[in-house]
């Protein structure tokens, strides 16, 4: 947990002071650790890393193809616009 202290001497200084951890902070850390562990286990059993990597690659390949098509259309429209002038 951090608190902020503002010192005014013509300039604004923000000084963060770290206070000793409270029992609530420790409980929150443990809850967060448990949640990360549970999520990691769920992801690991639901989809092996290899297949999820392939899914991501397919997703980005599709996006690149869409971008290429849009770029072709844009280039064609720009060329027509220049010819029209």
pLDDT tens across 8-66, in order? 555 555 555 556 666 666 666 777 778 777 777 766 655 555 555 556 666 677 777 77
- Cα(64)–Cα(57) distance, rounded to whole angstroms? 10
Residue 56: is it exposed, middle or buried by C-beta count within 10 angstroms (0-12/13-18/19+)?
exposed
- Cα(4)–Cα(8) distance, rounded to whole angstroms? 13
| Other Cβ atoms within 10 Å of 28 Cβ, number | 13
Q: Is the pLDDT reported for residue 74 higher than 60? A: yes
- Cα(26)–Cα(72) distance, rounded to whole angstroms? 56
What predicted TM-score, i.e. pTM, was given to this entire model?
0.28
């Amino acid at each position: 947990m951090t608190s902020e202290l503002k010192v005014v001497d013509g300039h604004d200084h923000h000084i963060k002071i770290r206070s000793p951890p409270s029992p609530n902070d420790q409980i929150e850390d443990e809850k967060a650790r448990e949640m990360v562990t549970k999520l990691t286990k769920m992801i690991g059993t639901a989809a092996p890393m290899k297949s999820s990597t392939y899914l991501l690659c397919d997703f980005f390949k599709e996006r690149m193809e869409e971008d290429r098509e849009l770029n072709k259309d844009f280039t064609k429209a720009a060329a027509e616009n220049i010819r029209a002038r």
